[in-house]
Amino acid sequence: MAQLSPAVPSQLQHRSQRNDCAAPLPAFTGESLAHTHTLLPSLAARLRHKSLQEALDCVHSQEQTKAASTLCGLEIALLDALGKAEGCAVSTLLSPLASTPRAAVPVNAVIGAKATRSAVAAARDAKKNGFRCIKLKVGLGLSAHEEIERVASVRDATGPAMHLRLDANEAWHLEEAIAILSQCVPYDIQYIEQPLEAHDLVGMRTLRQAIPIPLAADEAVHSLESARLVLESEAADILVIKPQLAGGLRVSQQMIRLATERGVQSVITSSLEAGIGLAAELHLAAASPAVTLACGLATLDLLIDDLLIDELPVRAGFLPVPPGPGLGIELDRQALDRYCVRGFA
């Protein structure tokens, strides 16, 4: 039986294999490196002398809301180690029985340019590069008329075949959202993401009833319990699931199952992780038959550098799953040394 050696805080040593996990993003989770550094030794003590599967079960049983990204990173390292030990991909480990994981996952381009001309140029570039879905950031301080004209211009640039979704990042109040979105109906919007503040589930339900555009909950979904609350409140047609915020890949699978049981779709989206976390989320999406919409995983270009030797390239709007056991990635040790925060290694 595969056993874990005494764990190093940021790494797992399994036989001769070293498995790295990613650091938390304080702006997203509220966790700090100091908090993670304090927490990991106690977690490591619980994992000593356990099999990889037992260690995974132990991590999964922890309270995710207090250390979501820490637990997610640790789970990713364990899944990578287990996949390598068993000679299979993480997506295979996560796939339901009798289900074959996808070799590639559809992903969306993201356009955040406020100026209409720049947004249109970015939309044309996305189409030229083979993307079949675009997420256009809205709620950027424009007037209602300017907002609608910007959406119309992007739709005109992409043509009708492109899936166009909007993301307001909690920018609007209910009346404003109704006024703007009712005028966007002719532009065939796939969905509008988090138009209202995350806590306003009553408003989200009212908005769902007022407009024909599907609503996606993003900031409102940050744990299994929050996902359950959104679903029970009938506040969304789609859940946007970020595994690092949720506490891991397996709790994200629970969220997907809850949504599917209620006829609600799910989308896997990054929290702007580097390649380790993004590869893990890609494996999760590939292993999830219920996730059919384009996922928000084409985000590595937003970073100035990465930790992987080989890039995760988007090809014709799809992100191929890295082949090979575990996550299927090779880490750039020099990059790890460059970005390691001394005192926490």
Instruction: Kindly state whether residue 140 falls inside one of the protein's structural domains.
Output: yes
Domain containing residue 281: 104-320
Same domain as 192, residue 72? no
Q: What is the 3-state secondary structure (H, E, C) of 136-153?
A: EECCCCCCHHHHHHHHHH
Both tokens of 321, joined, read 């799953």
- Alpha carbon distance 338, 334 (integer Å): 6
Report the SS3 class of residue 130. Answer: coil
Q: What is the pLDDT of residue 25?
A: 60
Instruction: Kindly state whether residue 137 falls inside one of the protein's structural domains.
Output: yes
Burial (CB count <10 Å: 0-12, 13-18, 19+), residue 149 = middle
Same domain as 86, residue 199? no
CATH number of the domain bearing residue 237? 3.20.20.120
Summarised one tens digit per residue, pLDDT across range 253-269 is: 999 999 999 999 999 99
Q: Which helix (H) or strand (E) holds 110?
A: strand 109-111
- Alpha carbon distance 306, 311 (integer Å): 8
Both tokens of 32, joined, read 């700090």
- Tokens 């805080």 belong to which residue? 9
Which one is predicted more confidently, 9 or 186? 186
Both tokens of 40, joined, read 């990991």
Instruction: Kindly state whether residue 60 falls inside one of the protein's structural domains.
Output: yes
Return the exposure string of 60-86: e unless at least 16 CB atoms fall within 10 Å of the residue's CB, then b. bebebbebbbbbbbbbbbbbbbbbbbe
- Alpha carbon distance 160, 305 (integer Å): 35
Q: What is the pLDDT of residue 126?
A: 98
Summarised one tens digit per residue, pLDDT across range 94-114 is: 999 878 999 999 999 999 999
Instruction: Kindly state whether residue 5 falls inside one of the protein's structural domains.
Output: no
Q: Helix 201-210 to helix 224-232 angle, to the nearest 10 degrees?
A: 40
Same domain as 63, residue 137? no
Summarised one tens digit per residue, pLDDT across range 103-160 is: 999 999 999 999 999 999 999 999 999 999 999 999 999 999 999 999 999 999 999 9
Phi, psi angle pair for 174, to nearest 5°: -60, -50
Q: Give the sign of the dihedral formed by CA 140, CA 146, CA 149, CA 153.
A: negative
Q: What is the pLDDT of residue 342?
A: 62
Instruction: Report how many domains make up the chain.
Output: 2
Same domain as 230, residue 117? yes
Position 9 pLDDT exceeds 50: no
Active site residues: 137, 242
Same domain as 166, residue 259? yes
- CA-wise closest residue to 240 among 160, 138, 168, 315: 168
Both tokens of 67, joined, read 């250390």
Asked whether the whole model's pTM tops 0.85, one would answer: yes
